[in-house]
Chain A
Amino acid sequence: MLLHGADHKKRDILFFSLPYLTVYVAFMVFPVVYGFYLSFFDWNILSTKVFVGLKNYVEAFSDPEFLSSFFHTIQFVVISTPLIIVVGFIMALIAVRPTKTGRISETVFFLPYMLSTSVVGTLWAWIFQKNYGLANQLLKSVGLSPLGWLTDPSIAMTSIIIATLWWTAGFNMILFSAGMKQIPEEIYDAAKIDGAGSFTTLTKITIPLLRDTSLLVLVLQIIASFKVFGQVYVMTGGGPYGTTRVLVQYVYKTGFSYFRLGYASAMSILLFMVILLVSVIQFLRKPDETQ
């Protein structure tokens, strides 16, 4: 029995995406739905689940640790997002040049991104270590007094942001340079003939034509920044005294160290709603601006 081509296609699509879909449903869709369900319960894995309604959500808003962790996360997002985007953009400007330095710098800028969180965290924890770390050795060698990079509450978050910048800016560079490579060369040639300098070219051609890419980078970066966890966990453990504790870290601790799965789920859902809100706002803005 022969099938119509369209049916074939449908069947093939389903068939070929089945392995991915299975994994996606099992490890993504199901946990998300189950997490939402759990957020209305009191459960420590070993006990029977007790339905508590909105209690977990109410608790979050009166839990000073949740609120401070949330605040630290916002702090991280607000400071790190523009920095990582701008640095990624500058890196891309250097990397797209069709020269040898361009190609080499592209590799150099992207390399850190390939390292795992724990490697990056451990590396920077050692660089910033107060008594034996590289950063303070450098400061001492030029006659400055050493800093408590990770132990002084006023600069610990900055240190984490520096490490994150070094680690992840390369990813934005890849997105930006991909966007830059799609801008037709003729536009630049025309601009050159019209006598536009490199600054004008940058502000009037490159940046406006990268609007879509920039929006994508912005949204991805905000989401990634909200999810900050690993480098904080390894570098400061949330310290000194909880001043760099971020939301995902608190969720992790609550869920997997203190085994309050319901409360941890509720906090994750709250984080999810914030990220969703930010993303929706970003994408809604898009048509207005292009009009």
Chain B
Amino acid sequence: MKRMTGLAIALLLLVSTVSVGAQNVQKPLEITFWSLFTGGDGEFFDAMVKEFNASQNEIVMKTDTVKFDNYYTKLTAALAARTAPDVVVMHQDRLSTFVPSGVLLPLDAYAQRAGIDLSTFEQAPLNNCKIDNKLYAIPLDVHPIIMYCNLDLFAKAGITKLPETLSELFTAAETIQKKTGAEGIAADNTTATYKAYTLTRMFLSMLMEQGVSVFNADNTKANFNNDAGVKAYQALSDMVNKYKVTPKGLDYDSSVADFRLGKAGIHFNGVWVTGLFEQQPGLNFIAVKFPALFGTNAAWAGSHTFAIPAQKSIDEKKVMGAMKFIDWMTNHGYLWAKAGHVPTRKTAVDTKEFKSLPHRADYADAAKYVFPTPPTSKWPQCYDTISDSLEESIALNRDAKTALTRMEQTINEILKK
């Protein structure tokens, strides 16, 4: 009898351990994340997360559906209170706002432990996520500024070659304007819903094409009131004021609408409008990397990255789960490419899924030429200020020296604070 009881207890214990064990296996690890994608991008992102959740049963990604119009305000507050989710999506140019405060985890060791082969990433965007040689985020995509050309208008104007130099660009734009009556270059130069960021993006790209970075090495002073700056500014101003191939007062939404409706020959914008243009019936266009207007290729780019916030106490299991998610998402970048963005991982680009997407392959190599935004927390303010300043000087047709001197003063003032 005693033996029987003993056996029964042993059996019971065994069963309960097994069932506890089974529960541990079956109950997936819940990992929370925030992303900032709305509208077109959002659908693709949500679909990817869903597919990740379905692809395995160890991890479940959960998001709170909050409004993302004040994403960084909410994120900053959450990071300050150490209540941020396990993984967050963040633009690369925001990293320098957060990293110095120690609210993001350095990821090098975790990436290694999770077996993420960092050499499969395009090195330019990956290096842009490093601060003081430590990796603080893993890039999901780059979204560089590129050039869109309306092939029908090109044909109508008798242009057979896409412009590659500055003079070819202006000649092509003038020819289109003369022969077809359409706008030469749709590039926003006035604030409406958005600031005239395209001017800034082109300006930064043109500077970098001449090997010049917008700030000095330690980000304490402006570095554009020089020959390279004059050339870049002059090109933008000429586009509007001299050759008049871009209408004055064009805002972002109009520039997109003009190209979309076939009213403009050339359009400069980020890759994110590709999807929109594709859906436009009758629009026959090509999207190529930003031309090497000053000799070498360089393109301003934004980059969506994944970062892991530091929590009150670090839960290694969750961090590793998050890394697994990041690994999967970057590896499946071809799904994300449907939104127009360029995947950062060679393993995502070298797939037939990616190669079968129209247009994307034409500008996929743009990822090689992206450069980092200056690693200073002042960057968001400088970016806005440069946009306002370029917009003003071009609208008032200021000469390059005056325009750049004014802009230099304002920027130096901000960097000093």
Residues on A lying within 8 angstroms of B by beta carbon are 44-47, 59, 64, 125, 129-132, 148, 150-153, 234-242, 253, 256-259
Contact = CB atoms under 8 A, between A and B. Distances in A.
Contacts of A148: 190, 249
B381 interface: yes
A148 B249 CA distance: 7
Contacts of A253: 384
A237 B191 contact: yes
B257 A240 contact: no
Interface string B325-365: 00000000000000000000000000000000000000000
A224 B380 CA distance: 30
A131 B251 CA distance: 10
Nearest to B390: A241
B66 interface: no
A259 B103 CA distance: 15
B24 interface: no
B193 interface: yes
Contact of B380 (A46, A64, A238, A257): A257
A208 to B, nearest CB: 46
Contact of A237 (B73, B76, B193, B377): B193
Contacts of B196: 239
A47 B76 contact: no
Given A45-B77, A152-B249, A131 B191 contact: no
B191 A259 contact: no
Contacts of B395: 153, 240-241
A46 B80 CA distance: 5
Contacts of A153: 395
Contacts of B97: 259
Q: Which 7 A-B pairs have the closest CB atoms?
A: A239-B191, A46-B101, A241-B392, A151-B249, A241-B391, A151-B190, A258-B381
B141 interface: no
Given A129-B254, A130-B250, A150-B192, 12 more contacts: A129-B192, A130-B251, A131-B258, A151-B192, A234-B193, A239-B190, A240-B391, A240-B395, A256-B72, A258-B378, A259-B97, A259-B377
A256 B70 contact: yes
Nearest to B394: A241
8 contacts: A44-B101, A46-B79, A234-B193, A236-B191, A240-B190, A240-B391, A241-B392, A258-B378
Contacts of B190: 148, 151, 239-240
Nearest to B381: A258
Nearest to B258: A131
Q: Is the interface of A mostly helix, strand, loop or mixed?
A: loop
A130 B79 CA distance: 41
Interface string B364-393: 000000000000011011001000110110
A61 to B, nearest CB: 14
Contacts of A64: 410
A247 B191 CA distance: 18
B253 interface: yes
A239 B195 contact: yes
Given A46-B76, A256-B73, A131 B195 contact: no
B243 interface: no
A46 B196 CA distance: 30
A130 B103 contact: no
Nearest to A258: B381
A46 B191 contact: no
A241 B251 contact: no
Nearest to B414: A258
B276 to A, nearest CB: 16
Contacts of B258: 131
A135 to B, nearest CB: 14
Contacts of B80: 45-46
Contact of A132 (B249, B254, B377): B254
A64 B196 CA distance: 20
B98 interface: yes
